Amino acid sequence: MVRHAMISTFTIQTDIPNTAAKTHPSGVLHAHRPDAVEEEKHHVFMWVADANAMECAVNYFTTQGYDADDLVLIPFTSKSNWVKSYPYAVPSLECDDEGQIVDFAFDSSPSSEKKKPRRRGRRLWKQAVLTNDTRDELHIQIYKYFRWFLHQLNDLKSTAHGRVVIRESGLKVAKVQTIVEAFQSAFVAITYDSTMSEIGTMLETDKFPLLEQALECELGIRADERLGLSESSQSNYPQKHDFDHMFDMLVDYKRQKGNCNVPARYKDNTRLGIWVSKLREKKRELVKSGNDFETIKRGKITQLTLTQDRLDRLNSIGFEWCLKKTPDVSWDTRFHELIEYYQTQGRWPNHKKSGSLGQWTHHQRNMFSKKDKLFMKERFAKLDAIGFDWDPTGLRSAKEINWDDGFQQLVSFGVTNGSFDVPRPSAGEQDEESYRFCAWVKLLHYEYSLFKNGHGSSILNDDRISSLFSIGFQFKE
């Protein structure tokens, strides 16, 4: 049975996330006049596209007798989305580019709606949006992200502080490794050669994978909504209209460093590093499309919009749009460079002093220490066959020394030499016991610093530290 009522109401809700609703420029202005007589309109809806249109709309309604306090703006993405969501509340008016109030113009016929043309190609199912080729590329990019992320986690694990960070974040590195392996087995498009060379380049040049950059702002908004954060306590993902703020930070950076070349992974200000990197990407896109700058469109201004004015401001502080890049070098080329280096120098490259070859060498050791399955299968044997030194510091082999054996050897050394300053053996003695012992003593100092700072130690405890103190051993601070 139909229920009778003296009044009925309905609710209109914005389609903009709460975190962005207050700054979104467009929407529908709802004017309500409760005391209107029968021939007058109680409710009027007007589409406003930006701040100028808003001022025009408010002036119009106040001259028509509506109270400004009764005007309500419902932020909305577009005219078409509003009409689809609330066909019973289609706006009757809007403000044109000249500031005049005109009838609302919107063609609701299906043919008038602009649709993105679908790329031709086979799809997994009839209504799928992505073609199979595009979906393969999506899987490859997701895999690259997880592969890169796993490398970052393993690097963190190599330090005591990093292990604390991982533990506090609730991440399970082994589970991430499982995801990587699952991608490798599930998708044929993902191959070792097609991904590892690019990932290696990202690690060596401090680049970010596509998904780490492309989704930063969108994921930041969703994260704040999920956590229920208020606007005043939102996380530090880049806002869409703060070019001036980012520009001021860039000016401060130049004042301190003498240039505008902020690293993409700038630890002191991650947002600034990403912003500068994206500006250069945006400029390359403009040049590729044949444009010198961007023209502002209604509601489309972002912190990355490169207008003529913004380009002039950036150029005025000496911003470099094209940085010299180290050309990509294949793994085999680096391998032959490594052999030649050892033959001429008689030692392996140092990752801090031997430039890009040293960094590449350090990366190979990291892959070995993580026992990366693909690396061990494809490349470990080649390096091992030329006698490559996987443990130049000796710390890995030092951990194999039994505590009692090492302690007795340390006591004997102190009695013989009158101190515990164990000299480092020459390169030719690295396989001998003296080299392992030197590395073990060095490890004691490192483990003590961890123990003293509350991070725990794999070989030291209170009793062992007391034993070392009793023989006069002094830890280096």
A 10 A CB-CB count for 472 gives 11
294 and 369 belong to one structural domain: no
Give CA–CA dist 328/228, Å, rounded.
44
Q: Is the pLDDT of residue 374 over 70?
A: yes
* Cβ atoms 325, 258 nearer than 8 A: no
Domain boundary among 260, 293, 316: 316
Residue from 316, 385, 391, 322 nearest 361 by CA: 391
The answer to whether residue 56 is domain-embedded is yes
Question: Helices 132-157 and 160-169: crossing angle, nearest 10°?
Answer: 130
- pLDDT digit string (tens) for 94-153? 887 777 788 777 655 544 444 555 566 787 877 777 888 888 888 888 888 888 888 888
375 and 402 belong to one structural domain: no
Range of the domain at 415: 395-470
pLDDT value at residue 229: 45
Domain boundary among 385, 407, 422: 385
Tokens in use for 253? 């950076």
- Containing 103, the helix (H) or strand (E) segment is strand 101-103
Report, as an integer, the average pLDDT of 151-178.
Answer: 82
Binned at pLDDT 50, 70 and 90, residue 250 comes out as very high
pLDDT value at residue 5: 65
- pTM metric for this prediction: 0.32
Binned at pLDDT 50, 70 and 90, residue 4 comes out as low
- Which residues in 379-406 are b (16+ Cβ under 10 Å) and which e? bbeebeeeebbebbebeebbeebeeeeb
- pLDDT digit string (tens) for 214-228? 676 666 656 655 655
A 10 A CB-CB count for 246 gives 20
Tokens in use for 199? 């990932």
- pLDDT digit string (tens) for 280-317? 988 888 888 888 888 776 555 777 888 888 899 999 99
Q: How many domains does the chain fold into? A: 5
Q: What are residue 372's phi and psi, to 5 degrees?
A: -60, 125
Most confident of 17-26, 246-255, 432-441: 246-255
108 and 24 belong to one structural domain: yes
Compute CA 228 distance to the chain's CA centroid, rounded to the nearest angstrom. Answer: 22
Task: Tell me how far CA of residue 163 lies from CA of 156, 166, 450, 467, in angstroms.
Answer: 6, 5, 12, 28
pLDDT value at residue 297: 63
104 and 151 belong to one structural domain: no
- pLDDT digit string (tens) for 431-452? 567 777 877 888 888 788 878 8
